[in-house]
Homo-oligomer: A and B are copies of this chain.
Amino acid sequence: MTKLLIIGSVAAGTSVGAKARRNSEDLQITIYDKDTDISYSGCGIPYYVGGEVADIDELTPRNAVWFKKRYNIDIHTQHEVLSINHEAKTAEILNLMTNETFTDSYDTLVLATGATSFVPPIPGVEADNVFSVRNIRNAGEIRTYIDQHQPKHVTIVGGGFIGLEMAEQLKYKGLEVTLIERLPQVMPPLDLDMAERVARHLQEKGVKLLTGQTVQSLYDGERVSTVQLESGQTIETDLVILSVGIRPNTKLAKGIGVEIGSTGAIKVNKKMQTNVPDVYAVGDVAESFSLITGKPIYRPLGSTANKTGRIAGQVITGEEAEHRGILGSGIFKVFDLTVAQTGLTEREAVEEGYEIEVLHNIKPDRPEYLGGKEMVIKAIADRNTGKLLGAQIVGPQGVDKRIDVFVTAISFGAKAEDLFHLDLAYAPPFATTKDPVMYTGMALHNSISKKAPLITPQQLVREIENGEAFQIIDTRSNAQFEKAHVKGAVHIPLGDLRTRASELNPDLKTVVYCNKGVTGNAAQNILINHGFKVVYNLSGGNKNYQHVVNNE
């Protein structure tokens, strides 16, 4: 019988085995994993540490017995594959419980070796109260440490989504939290202006945020009590959590000549095959590729691990299947905010050479009379084709729905104009008559078609700095104008614009704005219809401008 050997038993490895068995009973399937837990939800770890998930067993619902019974798969945990001889098609395995070594053979090999939290090489990382966020065992250690030592202050190093989720959970647990991020922003998959909305929320919730700061060392031997930053600043602390990213475990792969891609993860084709015949790579150890650009990207996530595992299982058993690539979609909850993104950011789109159109759309998720709350959607489209390239959304509710509609639309190559036509399900408890997604498409399309061009606050500031002359019109009420307005703006309320348009110079570049963008568009149309040559609507209105320019 053909032998399938899988190294790694978390999401991807078990998906390969399960799918292969579903397709065929004529395979011997064996999985080795050096860890103790299998098929677990790594993404649930912050919620276990924080206590929202009471029992660790909830994150590990399945064990080796279950897999044997259901799929006739032999899973051996605490078994480390030490080396592979691919010419002989054998693997040398160490049983970590008995310390015995033995050899197994295979016809097909799947590398599902995952990734490991990167531990920065700084003094002190080995101390008792310094933890990575890594796996189930280690999650238990963090929670036990907190329960036993009752730390008052935690320092989290790394502002990606795991760092932010840990910040939330430990704050809920009553700890003071300081979060340190080397980059100038939290959440690098977001554009700076959107990341700043997240940063502000963290600060409102009492998290002390230090961006653009690097840890130099952790003091005091066995137990760290001081974090020393390169800037010279020091932080007194009782606990340190490291979440500075993960690195694919490629050692075994390299040992048999498997090619590593530009991202540092294993290079695979759409069938999840490596360059070495009969060797597949799936999950966090393999790179993926962008559905938009076709280029390799590395975004390790449980959902992608499941997907690539299933595809490998199909291919291995002779079923036609190909990975179609990912959009790099991500979502997380941090205190009262949901933060989500898919596709390209503005920064990435520009780097890829797209001529882009950018919209900031500020809209409630449902009517305010039924508790609707504003979300900010930043959407990016290709000016030449009209195609949507990406979306980022920050808001208190309804964000997960809108990002998945964007994901689905972008997957099918949607143009901005297509969004208006979607017959999304409408009722007041769930949406507005024109859903925020539809509105985003309408405004982007109007801008792309040059009917109603948009300008972002950043673009406006940049062009003014470059000496470009603009007349800027604030169309809001007097009180709103007095409170805060765009630098250099003149005040003409919308109701007066038709009669006072003659006060303005129709040949001068004009920017109109309101509070969030809709009235600005109405004003823009009036001026365009009065023969003004170039009229921009300020994307996201004064609200977005004050956020971006004055950080308010």
Contact = CB atoms under 8 A, between A and B. Distances in A.
Nearest to A403: B425
3 closest A-B pairs (Cβ-Cβ)? A412-B412, A331-B425, A58-B369
User: Which of A23, A330, A411 has the most CB atoms of chain B within a 10 A radius of its CB?
Assistant: A411
Interface string A381-421: 00000000000000000001101110111011010001011
Contact of A370 (B47, B424, B429): B47
A529 interface: yes
B522 A370 contact: no
Contacts of A303: 423-424, 426, 431, 433-435
A10 to B, nearest CB: 11
A21 B525 contact: yes
Interface string A310-343: 1000000000000011111111110000101010
A47 B428 CA distance: 9
Nearest to A53: B369
Interface stretch (A64-72, A89-97, A200-208): A64-72
Given A44-B369, A405-B408, A411-B421, 7 more contacts: A25-B529, A43-B426, A47-B370, A69-B495, A291-B423, A404-B425, A408-B408
A422 interface: yes
Nearest to A303: B426
A404 B424 contact: yes
A425 B25 contact: no
Interface in A349-376: 367-370
Nearest to A326: B423
A41 B21 CA distance: 54
A434 B304 CA distance: 9
B330 A425 contact: yes
Contact of A427 (B332, B420, B519, B522): B332
B69 A328 contact: no
B400 A306 contact: no
A23 B307 contact: no
A368 B404 contact: no
A179 interface: no
User: Which of A23, A303, A331 has the most CB atoms of chain B within a 10 A radius of its CB?
Assistant: A303
Contacts of A427: 43, 161, 330-333
Interface string A502-541: 0000000000000000010110011001100000000000
